[in-house]
Amino acid sequence: MKYGIRQYIFVIRELTAREIKRKYARSVLGIVWSVLNPLLFMIVIGIVFSGYSLYPEKYPVYFITGRTLWILFSTATMTSLTAFEDNKSLFIKAKVKRETFILSRNYTALVNLWFSCIALLIVYICVGVKINWTIIIIIIDVFLELLFSIGISFILATSYVFYKDIKNIWNHLIFIIAHMVAVFVPIERYPKNLHQITQMNPLYIYPNIARQCVLYGTFNKKELFIAIIWAVVTFILGIIYFKIRENEIVKKI
Amino acid sequence: MLGKLLKNRGIRRLYIVFAIIAAVVIWSDDAYAEDAIIHFGSETYFATQGEGLPIGVYINTANGVGHYEVTVKYDPTVMQYVSGADGVDPEQGILTFVGESGDNEVKYMVNFNTISGNNTAISFASADIRMAETGEAFNVAVQGAAPIGVTPALEEEAEVDDGRIPMGVLRAEEMLIPDLTVPEIIGPKDRYASDESIERKTGEGGSVAADDEEDLEQTNSILYNSYFLFVLLFIALVITIQIVATIIIRIIKRAPNKEKKKEKLVRRESNFESGNKYLNVMDLDRDSIDIIQQGVYDFDASDYLDQPKGLQEPVIEVDDVTMEFHIASSQASGLKDYLIQLLKRQITYRKLYALYHVSFNVYRGEIVGIIGTNGSGKSTLLKIVSGALHPTEGEVRADRKKIQLLTLGTGFDMELTGKENVYLNGAIIGYSKKFLDEHYDEIVEFAELQDFMDEKVKNYSSGMVSRLGFAIATAGDAAEILILDEVLSVGDEFFRKKSLKRVKEMIHGGSTVLLVSHSMQTILDNCTKCVWIEKGELRMVDEPKVVCDAYSKMKENEAG
């Protein structure tokens, strides 16, 4: 009956299992869809956009790597948005830490990322990308991005309890941001004045680190440093914001 | 398939498989460096004999150019170098560009004079570009050699007058592009960097003179600057609105703050009045009112301690708890609504006291029933006691770790099967995986649902759901403080008896119990003490019989 870290992990896993089961309960393809989806996207976008790349041959790898990491953020935040609202009764009555709801949604997004990694692997093998030790950096990178998403998720989910239209606003924002972080069109094609700002954008940095690691086998220490700062600061801010308003949420729900 | 995957630690297995695949792929230690691209400003150049010809030379990377050394070959019989490069060999027609930079782009503008009308080309001879951070060599992709068409001076004038297409000028496609192999590219070989990667710029028009290009870039940059300004202005606007909004909120909030104290005083008075009213309605004589009032107000006085229960320390101390809810008179459902209403100053809050200065104590081994009509604040009280909610005023002193709140079916997911729900719900209640594995059969047996565990819960009847909920909730060892929220009115008569027995076992195990029920009989049967809360106010704390009598009397009076 004691709540140790183990128990939290167990709860998060159970909640995550629930999310995944629910998500795929009604689809025939089930988890295969998680693999097919990025591949389909890659093919279509590859055909349309590869002309924009400086290196058209690399574009498929460029796109699918960047998109996979971008999708981690977008699904994590979009699903976490309603985390408190969906678990209303648990939120009030259960003794679980409230943070677990957010964490489980983010973890679900991470599990989905693992499934899309199969797609990534297929592409890498087909294209003949040589993977070297820098793949470890990707794991760190994904972890940092997750931390960042958790921070944002806390802020969004908390706000959603009070203002329901945050959901719509965030949907549109996600769509806009997707075009600001060089997922589709490489940054070299961005107007020069935007380079500096885009390179500070965490949502550009996380996919970019992964792309650098896969495509070139290198990584930029400065970029990694910025990534860490963004992740940690956002995470802490998110938690603080949630803690401040926790009681209000219980009242409101 | 998925269910199995998850249950059989499939995900973990998947990770392992993935790790193995990754490890296999990692075998290659062939680290290949990043790409740099060198190119001229334009795809093709055209000039008239005797005129100046500026040509831009660019090095682009995404990762910062460190030390670089690039040589460019031009035709000294057609062109004469004027300025712009770091070094020149005018006889061989070789320009060198050497330097160190930290930027992503290095840009040179080389000026030539054309000395004879002919077709020629300018191309890169060698390139060694290092990364700013590590000093590693980039793979260099060469973006084309630029053909140059130089029109002989005399012909040109005539042609311009005629307005015909100049004969001597070949279009880019017709020109011979010299061999573009890049010798001496330093750095590991890259399978991408080959002549194939020489990209043709399309759609940028055939001949853009370098000057024009510069102009274009300038207008572009002005355009983007204004775009930036616009974005910045927009952000500034949003921030200002935010600030103004907060100030307005403060002003609005400050006003009711003053009223708050007044209201409280009024509330206290009316509290007393309404209390009297209730008691009057009950048609009791003066003496019994006194008794009851004493019951209410002197409850946590020392005489209760004298009772032969051996109770020294209260396990739960509810000390002057007030819970205040703000209910916006017009519910703003969204941020937009909220802002609009804020600007219109339409938001006014109505205060609602879910609990108003409630205090009582619960001692070890007691079974305390809580009664009250709907909306009287019972569940708010439970939330505060269990620690889900923090009271506005006052506090509840209790060891939260020892409290277990038993509610039925919270966290049941209708889409999942019974078995999956046992694990999910069990996890949320706080059972470990090991515990659930061991007690699973027990739970199913108690709930009498052996044949339904692989069925989705949405196909269960409501009685089945509550049975399962009860079975899970009471599977573990009883906590020291149990809070039962409408748990005992579950299922059919037989199950109710069974569950009552289970709860009684737990109670006899030495637990202190807080029990909420609408059924007066349950409370009369099980409790040693009863708390009556009405409209957020503590009405009475006494023996269950006394309280229940008064409660039912009040109800009768209200009905009649």
In this structure, what token pair is assigned to residue B351?
A: 């205060």
CB contact under 8 Å between B30 and A20, yes or no, is: no
**pLDDT at A165 (0 to 100):** 85
Residues whose CB is less than 8 angstroms from the CB of residue B522 and which lie 6 or more positions away in sequence, other chains included? B369, B488, B489, B515
CB contact under 8 Å between A130 and B32, yes or no, is: yes
Task: State whether B462 and B370 are in the same domain.
Answer: yes
Q: Is residue B306 part of a domain?
A: yes
CB contact under 8 Å between B336 and A165, yes or no, is: yes
**B interface mutation test: which of A3, A14, A16 has the most B CBs within 10 A?**
A14
Q: Are B385 and B460 in contact (CB under 8 A)?
A: no
Q: Is residue B274 part of a domain?
A: yes
Task: State whether B99 and B186 are in the same domain.
Answer: yes
Pairing of strands B537-542, B403-406: unpaired
**pLDDT at B276 (0 to 100):** 39
Whether residue A52 lies within 8 A of chain B, CB to CB, comes out as no
Closest residue by Cα to residue B284 from B469, B550, B74:
B550
pLDDT digits (tens, 9 = 90+) for B235-279: 778 778 777 877 887 777 665 544 444 444 444 334 444 443 343
Q: Which residue has the higher pLDDT, A231 or B454?
A: A231
Whether residue B516 lies within 8 A of chain A, CB to CB, comes out as no
Last residue of a domain, one of B176, B199, B222: B199
Task: State whether B430 and B293 are in the same domain.
Answer: yes
Which domain does B527 fall in, by range? Answer: 264-559
**pLDDT at A78 (0 to 100):** 92
Of chain A residues 211-230, which have a CB less than 8 A from chain B?
212, 216-218, 220-222
Q: Is residue B515 part of a domain?
A: yes
Task: State whether B441 and B524 are in the same domain.
Answer: yes
pLDDT digits (tens, 9 = 90+) for A113-148: 988 888 888 888 888 777 777 788 888 899 999 999
**Nearest beta carbon to residue B411 from set A94, A134, A192:** A94
Pairing of strands B529-534, B512-516: unpaired
Of chain A residues 69-108, which have a CB less than 8 A from chain B?
87, 89-90, 92-96
Q: How far apart are CA B538 and CA B482, in angstroms?
A: 21
Whether residue B202 lies within 8 A of chain A, CB to CB, comes out as yes
Residue A204: is its pLDDT beyond 50? yes
Name the residue with tokens 């037989």. B494
Last residue of a domain, one of B183, B199, B215: B199
Q: Is residue B124 part of a domain?
A: yes
Cα dihedral A7→A12→A16→A22 (10° resolution): 80
Residues of A in contact with B26 (CB under 8 A): 131-133, 135
Whether residue B25 lies within 8 A of chain A, CB to CB, comes out as yes
**B interface mutation test: which of A26, A95, A134 has the most B CBs within 10 A?**
A95
Domain ranges within chain A, ordered by starting residue: 11-17+26-252
Nearest residue of chain B to residue A20 (CA atoms): B2
**pLDDT at B30 (0 to 100):** 39
Region A98-111: what's the mean pLDDT?
A: 89
Residues of A in contact with B390 (CB under 8 A): 247
**pLDDT at A241 (0 to 100):** 92
Last residue of a domain, one of B199, B227, B251: B199
Q: How far apart are CA B222 and CA B229, in angstroms?
A: 10
CATH number, domain of B46, equals 2.60.40.680
CB contact under 8 Å between B334 and A1, yes or no, is: no
Shortest CA gap A12–chain B (Å): 9
Q: Are A99 and A12 in contact (CB under 8 A)?
A: no
Of chain B residues 245-304, which have a CB less than 8 A from chain A?
none
CB contact under 8 Å between A89 and B410, yes or no, is: yes
Q: What is the interface pTM, i.e. ipTM, of the complex? A: 0.79
Residue A232: is its pLDDT beyond 90? yes
Nearest residue of chain B to residue A55 (CA atoms): B197
Residues of B in contact with A114 (CB under 8 A): 11, 14-15, 18
Chain A to chain B Cβ contacts (< 8 Å): 188
**pLDDT at B348 (0 to 100):** 66
Share of chain A above pLDDT 70, in %: 96
Residues whose CB is less than 8 angstroms from the CB of residue B374 and which lie 6 or more positions away in sequence, other chains included? none
**pLDDT at B254 (0 to 100):** 63
CB contact under 8 Å between B26 and A54, yes or no, is: no
Low-confidence ranges of chain B (pLDDT < 70): 1-15, 17-34, 143-144, 153-231, 253-312, 327-333, 344-349, 408-411, 478, 487-491, 560
Residue A76: is its pLDDT beyond 80? yes
**Nearest beta carbon to residue B2 from set A24, A93, A164:** A24
**Nearest beta carbon to residue A133 from set B26, B199, B411:** B26
Whether residue B416 lies within 8 A of chain A, CB to CB, comes out as yes
Shortest CA gap B121–chain A (Å): 23
Task: State whether B182 and B268 are in the same domain.
Answer: no
- For residue B261, how many other CB atoms are within 10 A of its CB? 9
Structurally, chain B folds into a number of domains equal to 2
pLDDT digits (tens, 9 = 90+) for B326-350: 766 555 667 777 777 777 666 666 7
Q: Would you list the DSSP string of B284-339?
A: --HHHHHHHHHHHHTTTSHHHHTSTT---SEEEEEEEEEEEEEEESS---SHHHHH
Sheet holding B349-363, edge to edge: B349-363, B314-328, B393-397
DSSP annotation of B352 reads: E
Whether residue B476 lies within 8 A of chain A, CB to CB, comes out as yes
**pLDDT at B203 (0 to 100):** 38
Task: State whether B302 and B159 are in the same domain.
Answer: no
